[in-house]
A = this chain, B = another copy of it.
Amino acid sequence: MAAAATATVQVRPRSDSTHRLVTEAWSTQPPIPVDEYADIYGNPVKRLVMPSGSFVLTYDAVVAVPDEPDADPSGEAQAPADEVPGELLHFTLPSRYCLSDELMATAWELFGQSEPGAARVQAICDWVHDNIKFQYGSSNPLTTALDVFNNRKGVCRDLTHLAVTFCRALNIPARYVFGYLPDLYVPADPAPMDFAAWMEVWLGDRWWTFDPRNNQRRVGRVLIGRGRDALDVAMITTFGPAAFKSMKVWADRAEAA
């Protein structure tokens, strides 16, 4: 790139999800010092000043995941507002992309008849999965859940935003997460390999994984970041004139030893 620029990078998996790190290696070319911190959501972030000229960043990890797919939330009840842990209540509020205040009436209209709890969240995922067309290039950094609802298309980020928004409009705590999802990879898919976004929803007394894009319980999620919406969990954010030439993401399945 043309000149030095500060960047923040989120690639290291969080340590409080279902996977476990086995090996990892981080390096850059040229080698430069990295500042590390946890953001307000506890996500591990690396910050670096990328030098001018070509710059390559490499992160390799082997991660162990459970053999079982995402836990089954069937039958879990919605937690009343006085029982949700206080420090999580902000996950019922609107955020930059998740305009649950604007979509409040719509949410009640579409899902108000469903049974509160896991069934209602599943109804939301079904609706989003069935009504929002997955289409690369259909959204941009200003696209909100309201836009997605109106345009009826988006990428996994957008489908997740809309489902999160409906949950919050119905007072169900919901957070946006992103990470690696290995078996996402389909050889015939012309699109480049990428990170995946899904959501976590508070039911009963814990968080549960829902994935409006795939709308199925999956094996192999490796969670990198959590936040209110995609703003909080960007894989890379640059402050300055960086040009992003290419990114390759591998998330292959390795057989257990």
Q: Which residues of A contact B (CB under 8 A)?
A: 6, 8, 15-16, 20-28, 30-41, 45, 47-49, 62, 64, 80-82, 85-87, 89-90, 93-96, 99, 101-102, 141-142, 171, 231-232, 239-240, 257
Cβ-defined contact, A101 with B142, below 8 A? yes
Nearest CB of B to A13, in Å: 9
Nearest CB of B to A84, in Å: 9
Q: What is the oligomeric copy number?
A: 4
Cβ-defined contact, B15 with A35, below 8 A? yes
Contact of A102 among B8, B25, B142 (CB under 8 A): B142
Of the A-B pairs whose beta carbons lie under 8 Å apart in the complex, a sample of 14, sorted by A's number, is: A6-B82, A8-B89, A21-B26, A23-B31, A25-B25, A25-B26, A39-B87, A40-B40, A81-B240, A82-B239, A93-B96, A95-B95, A102-B142, A171-B239
Known: A94-B231, A96-B94. A36 touches B21 (CB 8 A): yes
Residues in B neighbouring A15, C-beta threshold 8 A: 35-37
Cβ-defined contact, A24 with B21, below 8 A? no
Nearest CB of B to A253, in Å: 15
Cβ-defined contact, A23 with B26, below 8 A? yes
Known: A87-B40, A102-B142. A62 touches B94 (CB 8 A): no
Contact of A22 among B31, B81, B240 (CB under 8 A): B31
Residues in B neighbouring A33, C-beta threshold 8 A: 20-22, 64
Cβ-defined contact, B96 with A39, below 8 A? no
- Complex CA gap A6/B79 in Å reads 12
Among A85, A90, A171, residue most surrounded by chain B Cβ atoms (within 10 Å): A90
> 8 closest A-B pairs (Cβ-Cβ)?
A20-B33, A37-B86, A81-B239, A15-B36, A25-B25, A6-B81, A23-B27, A33-B64
